[in-house]
């Protein structure tokens, strides 16, 4: 089966918030993404609600018909929201409050006890769990040890190295995915994947279940239109 495409709609909320009101409408655009073939909707609410708001998450929980993935740092407010909404998947990201965007994976060894407790709570509510990690094999093993269902590979290093040495850039991710599969962890990926580098990544990474793409896809939609852009990304994954 081709890798599934989950579209992160944070940038839609960023555009809306720049003007106020409800244009563009996050809920309607999420419905459209699903209609155009998107296989999931991802959101990443942050404490300052500078893009996706907590109310957006509640609204989307009533309308998303594909897989709903909520990303974020698992503080009390985030956990309360996720346990209320009960999405398909909760992706745990080690973002401090003021960070602009996700820029590193978890140290699952240092944060073992914290992550294990959080994951147990999520699993008790039948929520699939994923941990945002780098390609460090010890941290991937740590993700298995704390009981996560999946990992999400942080792909910015791949995207940065792709133009100059794509084989070298993808190699650590191949090794990481192979190790994750041995540990019975399913594999997601995301961050800076785009129409230029996505096909090569998906073709080379074994056992890749899902990619989460937001910034590049929404930016491309300004040129190609949303329906066409969703189809273009799905074509990159149809290998």
Tens digits of residue pLDDT in 171-208? 999 999 999 999 999 999 999 999 999 999 999 999 99
- 8 Å CB contact between 213 and 8: yes
Q: How many CB atoms lie within 10 A of CB 237?
A: 19
**Separation of alpha carbons 160 and 165, rounded Å:** 9
Give domain limits for the chain.
4-237
State residue 102's pLDDT score: 56
- The CATH superfamily holding the domain 4-237 is Aldolase class I (3.20.20.70)
- 8 Å CB contact between 141 and 121: no
**Separation of alpha carbons 58 and 111, rounded Å:** 29
* pTM greater than 0.85 (yes/no): yes
State residue 95's pLDDT score: 80
State residue 18's pLDDT score: 95
Task: Work out the pLDDT band at 239, boundaries 50, 70, 90.
Answer: confident
Q: What is the mean pLDDT of the chain?
A: 96
pLDDT beyond 80 at 96: no
Tens digits of residue pLDDT in 98-132? 554 556 799 999 999 999 999 999 999 999 999 99
Task: Work out the pLDDT band at 97, boundaries 50, 70, 90.
Answer: low
In which element (H, E) is residue 60 found?
helix 54-61
**Cα dist from 134 to 30, 168, 172, whole Å:** 28, 16, 9
Q: What is the mean pLDDT of residues 21-37?
A: 98
**Separation of alpha carbons 40 and 30, rounded Å:** 9
**Which residues are tagged catalytic?**
44, 71, 191
**Which residues does 130 contact at the CB level (< 8 Å), separation at least 6?**
69, 89, 90, 91, 92, 148, 149, 150, 151, 152, 188
**Separation of alpha carbons 54 and 47, rounded Å:** 9
């Amino acid at each position: 089966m081709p890798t599934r495409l989950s579209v992160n709609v944070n940038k839609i909320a960023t555009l809306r918030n720049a003007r106020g009101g409800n244009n563009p409408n996050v809920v309607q655009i999420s419905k459209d993404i699903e209609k155009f073939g998107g296989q999931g909707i991802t959101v990443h609410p942050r404490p300052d609600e500078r893009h996706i708001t907590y109310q957006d998450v509640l609204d989307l929980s009533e309308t998303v018909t594909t897989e709903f993935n909520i990303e974020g740092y698992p503080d009390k407010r985030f956990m309360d929201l996720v346990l209320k909404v009960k999405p398909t998947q909760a992706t745990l990201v080690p973002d401090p409050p003021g960070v602009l965007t996700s820029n590193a994976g978890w140290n699952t060894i240092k944060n073992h006890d914290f992550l294990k407790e959080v994951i147990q709570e999520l699993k008790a509510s039948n929520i699939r769990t994923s941990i945002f990690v780098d390609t460090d094999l010890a941290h991937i093993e740590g993700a298995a040890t704390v009981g996560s269902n999946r990992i999400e590979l942080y792909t910015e290093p791949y995207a940065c190295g792709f133009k100059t040495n794509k084989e070298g850039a993808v190699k650590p991710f191949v090794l990481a995915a192979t190790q994750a599969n041995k540990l019975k962890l399913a594999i997601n990926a995301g961050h800076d994947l785009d129409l230029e580098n996505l096909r090569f990544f998906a073709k080379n990474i074994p056992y890749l279940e899902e990619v989460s793409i937001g910034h590049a896809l929404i930016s491309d939609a300004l040129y190609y239109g949303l329906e066409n852009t969703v189809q273009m990304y799905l074509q990159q994954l149809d290998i």
